[in-house]
């Protein structure tokens, strides 16, 4: 068996051992980018190596998992994995995310503690060498301000499905709010997604404007059928407003770069005869979209809607002034 196939089987075994609910053949095919028949062969090969594999029926679907985990020999991390974890921790710290950096460093320490002492010493030398030779290129922008204790409390409330009360500094000053938390959004600014008690829809609450949060005894009641991903898809970035049908023309010179760029989850490209592209998506947050289009230096032209063209013209005039 070729080395890359052996590596794929070991990866699959780790996934099956680490999954509580197990993986279906469709999950294996999607994760390893293979067809169903290849996924079946991979499953059978792993079962030959680990006969303790279990088959679980979930409705009409069969799921597979390896109970009890794997021998530590099979679960030893690679140098590259440890180096990437260390880089992620360093990058989180550089971006002003101390809580996330602390969690990543703690995870790295727990993983390293399970490695045999002789192997750990060899790994440390290689990880340090990679750490000295790799860096994350940081983009200028705001550093998110967030009290780690507040973040931990909000995560606890989300897990417990409990309502929260906090003091919020809004445009009109500070006020006490009771909110049903629905999720958290992380970016240049951290947001709690939640519905204020008595309101209909969930909105964004900046974590750096939240103080003195507390978890209440009342259960949280998010909007019926609320889906955090669908909520995010309504906006370009984090700005929330009614969704518009966007049509953009991408020049032939920028077509390849645009195809490799993720504008929005709903994006759809159409190739044009002259090598250009037509990019369509459904999103709100038109002002933030305008700001993003500035970074393409005229290689992307707005075809519609007219409101987006007008907004871009206003922004251009404002910059020119």
Q: What is the pLDDT of residues 137-172, one digit of tens each?
A: 555 555 666 788 888 899 889 888 899 999 999 878
Per-position DSSP letters for 113-134, written without gaps between them: HTS-HHHHHHHHHHHHHHHHH-
- What burial class does residue 91 get, using C-beta atoms within 10 Å of its C-beta: 0-12 exposed, 13-18 middle, 19+ buried? middle
Please tell me which residue, 132 or 241, carries the higher pLDDT value.
241
**Cα separation, 156 vs 147, whole angstroms:** 14
Looking at 133-142, 181-190, 212-221, 275-284, which range is the least confident one?
133-142
pLDDT at 138: 52
Task: For 151, list phi and psi in degrees, rounded to 5.
Answer: -65, -45
Instruction: Tell me the pTM.
Output: 0.56
pLDDT of 222 reads 87
């Amino acid at each position: 068996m070729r080395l890359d196939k052996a590596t794929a089987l070991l990866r699959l075994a780790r996934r099956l051992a680490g999954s509580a609910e197990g993986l279906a053949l469709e999950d294996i095919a999607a994760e390893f980018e293979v067809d169903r028949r290849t996924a079946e062969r991979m499953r059978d090969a792993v079962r030959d190596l680990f006969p303790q594999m279990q088959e679980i029926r979930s409705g009409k679907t069969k799921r597979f998992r390896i109970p009890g985990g794997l021998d530590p020999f099979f679960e030893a991390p690679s140098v590259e994995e440890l180096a990437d974890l260390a880089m992620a921790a360093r990058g989180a710290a550089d971006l002003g995310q101390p809580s996330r950096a602390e969690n990543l460093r703690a995870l790295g320490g727990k993983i390293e503690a399970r490695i045999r002492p002789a192997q750990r010493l060899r790994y440390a030398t290689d990880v340090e060498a990679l750490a000295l030779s790799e860096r994350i290129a940081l983009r200028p922008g705001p550093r998110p301000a967030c009290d780690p204790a507040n973040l931990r409390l909000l995560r606890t409330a989300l897990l417990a499905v409990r309502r929260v009360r906090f003091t919020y500094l809004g445009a009109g000053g500070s006020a006490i709010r009771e909110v049903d938390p629905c999720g958290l959004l992380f970016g240049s600014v951290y947001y709690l997604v939640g519905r204020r008690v008595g309101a209909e829809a969930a909105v964004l609450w900046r974590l750096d404007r939240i103080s003195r949060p507390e978890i209440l005894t009342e259960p949280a009641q998010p909007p019926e059928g609320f889906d955090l991903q669908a909520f995010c898809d309504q906006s370009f970035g984090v700005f929330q407003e009614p969704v518009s049908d966007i049509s953009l023309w991408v020049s032939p010179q920028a077509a390849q770069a645009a195809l490799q760029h993720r504008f929005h989850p709903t994006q759809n490209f159409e190739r044009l005869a002259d090598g250009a592209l037509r990019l369509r998506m459904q999103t709100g947050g038109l002002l933030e979209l305008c700001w993003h289009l500035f970074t393409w230096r005229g290689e992307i032209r707005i075809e519609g809607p007219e409101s987006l063209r007008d907004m871009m013209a206003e922004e251009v005039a404002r910059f020119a002034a």
